[in-house]
Amino acid sequence: MDKQVLRDWLDSLDWDKTPPGPEPTPEVLATTRARYLEALARLTGQTEV
């Protein structure tokens, strides 16, 4: 449960890894957010932020 979705997306780009990084797509942000919310729920039982 981490930001692997974001890492995979960055690896798929032709980006030389120098700042600033590319802006993530709304889909990548939503998927990453969902994973963190799932981790929060599993760790704390909290389902809303």
37 within a domain of the structure (yes/no): yes
Q: Give the residue-averaged pLDDT of 25-41.
A: 92
- Domain interval for residue 41: 25-49
Q: Give the residue-averaged pLDDT of 5-16.
A: 93
Provide the whole-model pTM: 0.75
Q: Give the residue-averaged pLDDT of 9-36.
A: 93
Confidence of residue 1 (pLDDT cuts 50, 70, 90): low
44 within a domain of the structure (yes/no): yes
> Residue 17 — left, alpha, or beta (φ > 0 → left; ψ -120 to 50 → alpha)?
left
Q: How many structural domains comprise the chain?
A: 1
13 within a domain of the structure (yes/no): no
What pLDDT sits at residue 47? 79
2 within a domain of the structure (yes/no): no
